[in-house]
């Protein structure tokens, strides 16, 4: 399935949380924090008021409770507003 975001929306895929510490301790899934970093998969065209400033492949940080979760081909994704993206990670 292919999803194309509309207006000022951006489709992102969350990065996998760390499952092991640097010391080698395995972190159980229940104790793993929800990551707030993701990779941009698709971008909408933007609006006159809200321009899209990210592109496919960018690694971003977003607000903790932002977005709408969608499942695409069995994998979790988020659809965010451009204003919910707080940083691009370089």
Helix (H, G, I), strand (E, B) or coil at 86: strand
| pLDDT tens sequence for the chain (90 residues) | 789 999 999 999 988 766 777 788 877 766 666 668 999 999 999 999 999 999 999 999 999 889 999 999 989 999 999 999 999 999
58 touches 40 (CB < 8 A): yes
SS3 content of the chain, % helix, strand, coil (to 5): 5, 40, 55
Reported pTM: 0.80
Pairing of strands 59-62, 68-72: unpaired
Token duo for residue 31:
């104790």
Backbone angles phi, psi at 2, to 5 degrees: -120, 130
> 11: which residues sit within 8 A by CB, 6+ positions away?
3, 5, 40, 41, 42, 43, 70, 77, 78, 79
């Amino acid at each position: 399935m292919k999803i194309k975001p509309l207006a000022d929306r951006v489709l992102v895929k969350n990065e996998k949380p760390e499952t092991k510490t640097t010391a080698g301790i395995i972190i159980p899934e229940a104790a793993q924090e929800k990551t707030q970093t993701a990779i941009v998969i698709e971008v909408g065209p933007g609006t006159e008021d809200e321009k899209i400033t990210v592109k496919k492949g960018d690694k971003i940080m977003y607000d903790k409770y932002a977005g709408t979760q969608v499942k695409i081909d069995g994998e979790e994704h988020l659809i965010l507003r451009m204003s919910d993206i707080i940083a691009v990670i370089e």
